[in-house]
Amino acid sequence: MNSESLKKLLQSVAAGDTPVDNAVDEISKLPFEDIDFAHIDHHRSLRKGFPEVIFGEGKSSEQICGIMAHMTPRENIILVTRVDTEKAAQVLNRFPQAEYHTDARMVVLKKKEPPVRGKGTILVVSAGTSDIPVAREAYLTAQAMGNCVESIFDVGVAGIHRLFAHKDLIDQAAVLVVAAGMEGALPSVVAGMVSRPVIAVPTSIGYGSSFNGLTALFAMLNSCSSNVAVVNIDNGFGAGYMAAMINRE
Amino acid sequence: MNSESLKKLLQSVAAGDTPVDNAVDEISKLPFEDIDFAHIDHHRSLRKGFPEVIFGEGKSSEQICGIMAHMTPRENIILVTRVDTEKAAQVLNRFPQAEYHTDARMVVLKKKEPPVRGKGTILVVSAGTSDIPVAREAYLTAQAMGNCVESIFDVGVAGIHRLFAHKDLIDQAAVLVVAAGMEGALPSVVAGMVSRPVIAVPTSIGYGSSFNGLTALFAMLNSCSSNVAVVNIDNGFGAGYMAAMINRE
Amino acid sequence: MNSESLKKLLQSVAAGDTPVDNAVDEISKLPFEDIDFAHIDHHRSLRKGFPEVIFGEGKSSEQICGIMAHMTPRENIILVTRVDTEKAAQVLNRFPQAEYHTDARMVVLKKKEPPVRGKGTILVVSAGTSDIPVAREAYLTAQAMGNCVESIFDVGVAGIHRLFAHKDLIDQAAVLVVAAGMEGALPSVVAGMVSRPVIAVPTSIGYGSSFNGLTALFAMLNSCSSNVAVVNIDNGFGAGYMAAMINRE
Amino acid sequence: MNSESLKKLLQSVAAGDTPVDNAVDEISKLPFEDIDFAHIDHHRSLRKGFPEVIFGEGKSSEQICGIMAHMTPRENIILVTRVDTEKAAQVLNRFPQAEYHTDARMVVLKKKEPPVRGKGTILVVSAGTSDIPVAREAYLTAQAMGNCVESIFDVGVAGIHRLFAHKDLIDQAAVLVVAAGMEGALPSVVAGMVSRPVIAVPTSIGYGSSFNGLTALFAMLNSCSSNVAVVNIDNGFGAGYMAAMINRE
Amino acid sequence: MNSESLKKLLQSVAAGDTPVDNAVDEISKLPFEDIDFAHIDHHRSLRKGFPEVIFGEGKSSEQICGIMAHMTPRENIILVTRVDTEKAAQVLNRFPQAEYHTDARMVVLKKKEPPVRGKGTILVVSAGTSDIPVAREAYLTAQAMGNCVESIFDVGVAGIHRLFAHKDLIDQAAVLVVAAGMEGALPSVVAGMVSRPVIAVPTSIGYGSSFNGLTALFAMLNSCSSNVAVVNIDNGFGAGYMAAMINRE
Amino acid sequence: MNSESLKKLLQSVAAGDTPVDNAVDEISKLPFEDIDFAHIDHHRSLRKGFPEVIFGEGKSSEQICGIMAHMTPRENIILVTRVDTEKAAQVLNRFPQAEYHTDARMVVLKKKEPPVRGKGTILVVSAGTSDIPVAREAYLTAQAMGNCVESIFDVGVAGIHRLFAHKDLIDQAAVLVVAAGMEGALPSVVAGMVSRPVIAVPTSIGYGSSFNGLTALFAMLNSCSSNVAVVNIDNGFGAGYMAAMINRE
Amino acid sequence: MNSESLKKLLQSVAAGDTPVDNAVDEISKLPFEDIDFAHIDHHRSLRKGFPEVIFGEGKSSEQICGIMAHMTPRENIILVTRVDTEKAAQVLNRFPQAEYHTDARMVVLKKKEPPVRGKGTILVVSAGTSDIPVAREAYLTAQAMGNCVESIFDVGVAGIHRLFAHKDLIDQAAVLVVAAGMEGALPSVVAGMVSRPVIAVPTSIGYGSSFNGLTALFAMLNSCSSNVAVVNIDNGFGAGYMAAMINRE
Amino acid sequence: MNSESLKKLLQSVAAGDTPVDNAVDEISKLPFEDIDFAHIDHHRSLRKGFPEVIFGEGKSSEQICGIMAHMTPRENIILVTRVDTEKAAQVLNRFPQAEYHTDARMVVLKKKEPPVRGKGTILVVSAGTSDIPVAREAYLTAQAMGNCVESIFDVGVAGIHRLFAHKDLIDQAAVLVVAAGMEGALPSVVAGMVSRPVIAVPTSIGYGSSFNGLTALFAMLNSCSSNVAVVNIDNGFGAGYMAAMINRE
């Protein structure tokens, strides 16, 4: 039930067509029972400004295609994350207009290019080549949400001069996403160089006491730079989404 | 050494007053050895837009006063976090113009009110009364950095209707800080209601398997809402700082 | 006491030598010494009111069939949990009257419908679609134990209005089972809405710092609602069993 | 706003005294903004059937007394948990009709005895003498919520015969609360003896690899008895509360 | 170098054939360089009373056969633990006189039956059917080391009467090995019944918060019975070995 | 069976009406049902061969004295562990015949020397001087239980020659207790030198990643020597008790 | 930009050919933009004295070959770690002059033998046969970096005499690398014998509470010998690299 | 027994004064029973090149003074670590020639300046002012062991330019010790700048998910720079000791 149908009900009360007790009953269930709220994706697109994103891991290509078929009529852009090559082939077979980004393991279906809504540039930085899939997931997510996105890859702290070579790009970014595994030191260093919000995303890259990204996660939460907030391990999508939220007009 | 002094040196070279070799020598040490850079706070204030904040825990009131005395001539606002009542009394004795906020355990010294620089309102929400110190630390930090800040306290998920009672405030916020201990569920619920960035700050409130805030931290990192990023346990200051960064024009 | 001595006692009762009350008293102590009680399933069915449930994981289809063959003559209902599709096919080949529930990965063999013994309705709620297998395991277990069971799936806290749309069902439940992975916040929210016992069951859904359900488990143990108790990760069977215990007349 | 005030508003609409648009506006904010909902304790008492319980740890005796003074006019019974001897003395000085239970570290203020509402007996069992404070907290909570409560203390599994000596009490209980520290084995053994729900509460008793109750907690979650659900470490209050919920007519 | 060769050296000194300085030098390196110590297995059999046991996991059947071929001439009994069915077939092909125990995943090669050296009976108890492989590994190890061994399987604490049915066997044991997974409660209960040493061996049976045996391990270390000591998770071999050590004349 | 029925049975024996063998049989079943067995200490002394030991930590000197007063008439020896100097003074004031061992933080009250019941010598070895309290607790416990006990302190693996200097003592021991903190390596080295059972007891000595003894505990559980079993961190009492169990005739 | 190009710029300023403002601009970006720094491998070889090592895990043979092809013209030696047999075959097919070391799972391509640069001998010691792959990785790395390397394998602390048999080799080493899994005790014992730096490398060998090497790691960090520093679990490469750094003239 | 006394014994054999059998007997106990080896510190000073260092934590000032009195006659330098101000005053009262370094909480007693034995300069770097105590402990230890030591404090990665300002000092160091708490990123950055061994020492500085230094420890073990090895949390002494070992001629 939306404002208009509520108005109609009240007009009916005012007109004496609906008894007061019936109206009391109907209104008291609101806004919980309205069938409109059951169109989940539809509602989210209105409420949050972006449709639900399909988490591909653990879903069959049939399930992914089913959800996509359900969303296609209503949404201009559909993202599917964590899709392996094999599933992607099956999805693209069904939706030929979709693109598969191997590096990010992501399927993107755009009915039209999203209009640029972000106020500045989002910069995605990653520490090592192994962190690129996570970084690219952030990149494509932010881009799909209507942002100018730039990226710098493979600038780990063991060769810190590589980072400084990109100082201009870093200085001009409105929001930064920094992905790193192993010791997770890069977000601290980058955040120390700028006065802009940095979203740190730990990756599961490493072995032994990297604990599948936990060490990087904790390091980032303990950053000595204050302009850092953190998302879950390997959550490139979440980092890109959060950056897009921050970058909105 | 700043741009102006560099310019003077080069003018001196151009004028033939400084031999090329001397200038090579001087410049090659820049920007690393210039004594001005040793005035750490000064530099940070320029680079990051806000002076260094004093972490009061583990420092004596003498040490705190010493640092404040050093900063006072240069800075318009000084924050000291995690100051207990006793130390605060000694600090205020020395700096009578400072204020002590008992609930946030914070000393704030303002030479003048900070001009409002934030583009929207920052809303600080906390789950329980015990989370208020952390929430207030975020509140005062964001305020000191030139933002309009509002707050809603004691709206835990066990009585979710209390949260909905404040839907207007929530909808109007540009950035939200949500503090919660125990199961740390509040940021997910709040973030599900808005399309704005939410900074989640876990608190160490709880006992047993709350693990001094670790459970809340992990819950927040696993939020099923994507517009959430997280800071360290009890890091109200960091949450307020990050929110201020996001809220900048 | 073994069969022979039990026989003697009963003959003595039959002969009028032992009063019935005395025999009742003596026999009630019996479980500990009688060798016959090595027939485990038989005894449990008497003692606990429900036959032993077969944990299918790590058992071959041959082993499962062997145990079922042993139980069939004595029990009216047999549950096998954690059975994959392949094993299930082999089991159903041998026991064609059994049903396989793909979503719950459970085999149910009923010789006749269990009589409804529960005093009210048990409601099973799950946060996400991925939590459904665990929720369905709880559902089918509670149903097999003679309860009216209802379910609401996919009502995570990121869109809390979806939950409120089912307020009637929630209010009418006598006992609730709430399954959730990731941040595990749903049981707290649901429990805050009712004055009925809630059994929370964490699922291993999530990645990174969800730690295969540990974060959800700890969040549930720290629920700010007091009418919550928790079972092991992914233990849908245990949650359904506990709910059935609570719902007994 | 309750049903009556809603009815009045609609009557006013029906009577033409309130324009439809004003009513739309007013109703759309409901039930979120109504001031009545701010009387938190009052509402909970209606919704959950028992007033909010005061968690005494970390609160001063002044704060505890303040909350009690606020609750006394409205509630028939007030519980304060985790109160040390010193604070308790100050509380009892202010509220002479309250009782302090040293063993449970709990203050109970009853304006009148709670009517017995539970359908059966709740039995509280504890493994060692050191677990008694937690067990007693469960005992007093369940009792205050209108239940017949019995208890058996000091029946750890190292001398299992002590437990069997109380088989009658155990068999007659409708709900059981079992508290244990160290290896946390008691709930499994007790639950294996009955076909009733058992609420297991781990205590922080132990040293070394007991990890302040974590080992007991995990042991209980892994109980090989299925009629067990678990609450947080040392959460005697929660266990008693949950048992009372289960025991309701 | 043994006593005799030392004597020879000193005789040579006494005879003036070896200069004092050379002897000083040679003796100072003793007993580290004597080549006899390099016959590792040989030495252990003398020093420890039992030959080295081959840990089969991670070794190819070729490697296992190679080591066995090396040991066969010298040892009367050879144990290989953690051997899967496939490898076992290849080993038995090469050593037809060896036996493979499927339940314990163990290969045993006896040139002759080991003489009984243990002073009493070792009793191996296991909680569930899934713990049997570990229990059988302990059983066969203790037996191979020359002990009378008895076993009781599937007597978990959820049906404690099953345990008491075997009280005689339990009372007569000189040493007990108790294997359990999940909550690991059985060793405490068994140890409470006897005044004999109990070796507790946690198994990795369980799921969720059983943490692959860690919960059982910690529970056992926190046993409220004092006559319990613990070995590593799934270390049936070590438990049997330790029991045999204790049971020696 | 209660005291009265026991009395009747014994009178019947005295009168020659019940043969001794029958009475023996009947009474041997007694521990489980008789209410008199609530006198815990009495029963344990019979069943386990040693009276209950008082864990002094967390008990007041009044409580300790109360329990001791209760035990003194029945027991020849009483041990109280983890008693600080202040409490010990109060205990000795009340029980002047007791001794306080400062190094072990233990009170020992012997009415007469315990007869030597152990078949060999128990050797207690400790790695560092800081481990001595735990080692001494083991020493005094084993001694009080009627064993010849020897000790070697301060022979850590960083100077392994110190250990070899005591090879004779080590070789002659029937059972060994080895206490170590930090990396916990000593039990492996000692166990590699003997063919006797070694009880390893980790101590909480260390800092940082010693995790209060957890690292030592895990190291000991992973000993590459098979004749090692482990007790809880700092559990010197348990190690001595277990050694005494093993050393019994 | 190096000193010479800076000199040229300043000379151009002195000559009036470059305006002061342009020079300010150019210098302020230095040393971040110089394109020479982008030749990553090249630079590392100069800066660190050894080319980047290829971490083979998770890379396809194509990727490995691609990187090798890029490095071959510039470097005299190329190391690829963690290469399985199958990938190695493909790599050697492309680079026939490379060698594959099965035991260390390492590919080494040498255009010429590295000149010996180390000042002494590096000794690699490993506890068990299963630790050899890690030990060999250290061995080959140190050797490839121009060091004399010796090794002693299979000298675990359970048979400590095996270690002493090699005292001469141990005494003569300039730097030692000690690899051990399980309880990780060997580095402490070895370090106690020498006054040289010991690099300890924990391996993931073990099961149960070895936690994939974490127990060994923590044991090594808690070594009671002070001449020990530790690298990550299974990081044989890092241990060999660090030893080579220490052993440089 | 040292070389000289051994020589005397053999001369006595050569002279016929000591029978061969007696000499065999005496020598066979060596080097284990010789009383000289019981002078632990003395021996270590010879074997390791530096006397044992006194760990002051948990020792009374009396105990510290006792050990110092024992060592003074034999050693030229004595170090006592982790001494608080109060204990230090008492120690200096007894040993007026000793110095107390408040910042490092260390007592140093030098009979004469240690001769410089290190081949290069050791540089100690620390991230924050709170890390200085640990850094200073490393500094003073390395200095006491005869090294030239330099230090740079407060150069955390959040303001990386502060580090580069000291590039000359960093480049000239032969060995580096880098101390950092919180995210522990500094060692990676420093190690990336040099081709020298870096000893990383995590400090317990931080809160929340810094876990008392564990996060820094793990970050350092996962350093993407290979010339890093790590010591225990807060182990400044160990870092300085290891650096001195590496820096030896």
- How does pLDDT run along chain B (249 residues), one tens digit per residue? 344 556 677 778 778 888 777 776 666 444 333 322 222 334 454 456 677 788 888 888 988 998 898 888 878 899 999 999 999 999 999 999 999 999 999 999 998 888 888 889 999 999 988 899 999 999 999 999 999 999 998 888 887 877 888 888 999 999 999 999 999 999 999 999 998 999 999 999 999 999 999 999 999 999 989 999 999 999 999 999 999 999 986
Question: Which residues in chain G have their CB less than 8 angstroms from residue A160's CB?
Answer: none
Question: Which residues in chain A have their CB less than 8 angstroms from residue C165's CB?
Answer: 32-34, 37-38
Question: Which residues in chain E have their CB less than 8 angstroms from residue H27's CB?
Answer: 6, 10, 27
% helix, strand, coil for chain D, step of 5: 50, 15, 35
Q: Which of C161, F97, C197 is nearest to A36 (CA)?
A: C161
Chain-chain contact of B37 with H165 (C-beta, under 8 angstroms): yes
N residues, chain A: 249
Min Cα distance C82 → chain A (Å) is 17
Q: What is residue D29's three-state secondary structure?
A: coil
Look at residue D73 in the predicted model and tell me its pLDDT.
83
> Please, are residues E4 and E10 in contact by the beta-carbon 8 Å criterion?
no
pLDDT band at G130 (very low <50, low <70, confident <90, very high): confident
> Angle between the H61-71 and H85-94 helix axes, to the nearest 10 degrees?
40
Chain C and chain D share a number of CB contacts under 8 A equal to 69
Supply the DSSP symbol for E149: E
In a mutagenesis test of the F interface, which of D85, D193, D209, D211 is the best target, namely the one with the most F β-carbons within 10 Å? D209
Distance CA D119, CA B109 (A): 61
Look at residue E38 in the predicted model and tell me its pLDDT.
27
For the stretch A149-194, pLDDT in tens is 999 988 888 878 778 888 889 999 999 999 999 999 999 999 999 9
Q: Is D25 exposed, middle or buried (0-12, 13-18, 19+ CB in 10 A)?
A: exposed
Chain-chain contact of H43 with F165 (C-beta, under 8 angstroms): no
pLDDT averaged over chain A? Answer: 85
Q: Across the beta sheet with F106-110, what order do the strands follow?
A: F54-55, F77-81, F106-110, F99-101
pLDDT at H23 over 80: no
Nearest CA in chain B to H210: B232
Place of tokens 């699922």: C203
Alpha helices in G154-224 (DSSP H): 161-164, 167-172, 186-193, 214-221
Share of chain C above pLDDT 90, in %: 56
With b meaning 16 or more CB within 10 Å and e meaning fewer, what string describes A207-221?
Answer: bbbbbbbbbbbbbbb
Min Cα distance B161 → chain D (Å) is 6
Chains that touch D (3 or more CB pairs under 8 A): A, B, C, E, F
> Please, are residues E219 and D187 in contact by the beta-carbon 8 Å criterion?
no
With b meaning 16 or more CB within 10 Å and e meaning fewer, what string describes D55-84?
Answer: bbeebebeebbebbeebeeebebbbbbbbe
pLDDT band at F112 (very low <50, low <70, confident <90, very high): confident
pLDDT averaged over chain H? Answer: 85
Q: Amino acid letter at E30? A: L
pTM (2 d.p.): 0.84
Strand residue runs (E) in chain A: 54-55, 77-81, 99-101, 106-110, 121-126, 148-152, 175-180, 198-202, 228-230
* HEC-encoded secondary structure of B189-232: HHHHHCCCCEEEEECCCCCHHHHHHHHHHHHHHCCCCCCEEECC
Residues of D with CB under 8 A from a CB of E: 127-128, 156-160, 182-185, 188-189, 191-193, 206, 208-211, 214-216, 218-225
Helix or strand holding residue B28 (H, E): helix B20-28
In a mutagenesis test of the H interface, which of G117, G221, G235 is the best target, namely the one with the most H β-carbons within 10 Å? G221
Nearest CA in chain E to D220: E183
Distance CA B101, CA B123 (A): 19
For the stretch C185-219, pLDDT in tens is 999 999 999 989 999 999 999 999 999 999 999 99
Distance CA A91, CA A105 (A): 13
Q: Amino acid letter at E136? A: R
> Please, are residues B239 and B210 in contact by the beta-carbon 8 Å criterion?
no
Question: Which residues in chain C have their CB less than 8 angstroms from residue D231's CB?
Answer: 221, 228-230
ipTM for the assembly: 0.81
Helix or strand holding residue F220 (H, E): helix F214-221
Q: Amino acid letter at H167? A: K
Q: Which of H211, D234, E207 is nearest to C221 (CA)?
A: D234
> Angle between the A85-94 and A61-71 helix axes, to the nearest 10 degrees?
40
Residue ranges, chain E, pLDDT below 70: 1-7, 24-49, 249
Chain-chain contact of F58 with D164 (C-beta, under 8 angstroms): no
- Region A198-212: mean pLDDT is 94
Question: Which residues in chain C have their CB less than 8 angstroms from residue B156's CB?
Answer: 224
pLDDT at C30 over 70: no
For the stretch H99-129, pLDDT in tens is 999 999 999 999 888 888 888 999 999 998 8
Look at residue D38 in the predicted model and tell me its pLDDT.
27
Of the listed ranges B48-57, C105-114, D169-178, the least confidently predicted one is B48-57
pLDDT at F223 over 50: yes
Distance CA G241, CA G137 (A): 10
Q: What is residue F24's three-state secondary structure?
A: helix
Look at residue G41 in the predicted model and tell me its pLDDT.
35
Distance CA B26, CA E140 (A): 80
Whether F contacts B, i.e. 3 or more CB pairs less than 8 A apart, is no
End-to-end CA distance of chain H: 29
pLDDT at D31 over 70: no
Min Cα distance G27 → chain E (Å) is 58
Distance CA C77, CA C79 (A): 7
Q: Amino acid letter at G225? A: S
pLDDT at A46 over 60: no
Chain-chain contact of C208 with A234 (C-beta, under 8 angstroms): yes
Chains that touch F (3 or more CB pairs under 8 A): D, E, G, H
Chain-chain contact of D3 with A27 (C-beta, under 8 angstroms): no
Alpha helices in chain H (DSSP H): 3-14, 20-28, 40-48, 61-71, 85-94, 132-144, 161-164, 167-172, 186-193, 214-221, 236-246
Look at residue C129 in the predicted model and tell me its pLDDT.
82
Cα F40-F43-F47 angle, rounded to 5 deg: 130
pLDDT averaged over chain F? Answer: 83
Query: Beta partners for B100?
Result: B107
Distance CA A96, CA F244 (A): 77
> Please, are residues F84 and F105 in contact by the beta-carbon 8 Å criterion?
yes
Pairing status of strand H148-152 against strand B121-126? unpaired
> Please, are residues B180 and B189 in contact by the beta-carbon 8 Å criterion?
no
Residues of H with CB under 8 A from a CB of B: 130, 154, 159, 161-162, 164-167, 207-210
Contacts of B89 by beta carbon, 8 Å cutoff, 6+ apart? B100
Q: Is C64 exposed, middle or buried (0-12, 13-18, 19+ CB in 10 A)?
A: buried
Distance CA G70, CA G63 (A): 11
Distance CA G208, CA E212 (A): 8
> Please, are residues B127 and B180 in contact by the beta-carbon 8 Å criterion?
yes
> Please, are residues C109 and C97 in contact by the beta-carbon 8 Å criterion?
yes
Calculate the alpha carbon distances from C37 to B231, E131, E154, F33 in Å.
58, 21, 13, 20
- Region D77-94: mean pLDDT is 95
> Please, are residues F152 and F166 in contact by the beta-carbon 8 Å criterion?
yes
Min Cα distance F214 → chain E (Å) is 11
Distance CA F134, CA F104 (A): 7
Distance CA C88, CA C105 (A): 8
> For residue B130, what are its two tokens?
């015990």
Residues of E with CB under 8 A from a CB of C: 130, 154, 159, 161-162, 164-165, 207-210
Pairing status of strand A198-202 against strand A175-180? parallel
Whether A contacts C, i.e. 3 or more CB pairs less than 8 A apart, is yes
Query: Beta partners for D150?
Result: D123
Whether B contacts E, i.e. 3 or more CB pairs less than 8 A apart, is no
DSSP E41-78: HHHHHHHHSSPPPEE-TT--HHHHHHHHHHHTTT-SEE
Distance CA C214, CA F10 (A): 58
Chains that touch A (3 or more CB pairs under 8 A): B, C, D, G, H
Min Cα distance B239 → chain A (Å) is 8
Distance CA C216, CA C206 (A): 9
**Using omega within 30 degrees of 0 as the cis cutoff, is the peptide bond preceding H31 cis?**
yes
pLDDT at A37 over 60: no
Contacts of F69 by beta carbon, 8 Å cutoff, 6+ apart? none
